[in-house]
Amino acid sequence: MRSRPGVHGGWELAADARDITLAQVWRLLQGDDPVLGLHGPDPDCAVGRNVQESLTRLDRAVADAVAAELQRFTVHDVVTGAVAAPPKPRRI
């Protein structure tokens, strides 16, 4: 992205919108922040430390799943309305 100050300023993409995946945008904005809103456990609590390790692994798996889904779409898809909702699961 590039920015220009002034009355006619603003942001513009430095690459073609077809080449920028939503996964790239999401990872850039998300950074290393936890997806599940995790916070640190009491350092004196062994159970809390174990639960935290499990939740941290789960958080990474959720982040990877979100990125994998967003990888299917580009900024161009969003601008043109080409992002379709996933099919609803079938009831058995």
83: Cα separation from own chain's centroid: 16
**Per-residue pLDDT at 38 exceeds 90:** no
* Proportion of the chain above pLDDT 70, given as a percent: 99
Query: Residue 49 — very low, low, confident or very high, per pLDDT cuts 50/70/90?
Result: confident
Mean pLDDT, residues 44-71: 91
Distances from the Cα of 51 to the Cα of 46, 61, 63, angstroms: 9, 15, 18
What is the pLDDT at residue 59?
Answer: 94
CB 36 within 8 A of CB 55: yes
What is the pLDDT at residue 7?
Answer: 80
What is the pLDDT at residue 40?
Answer: 79
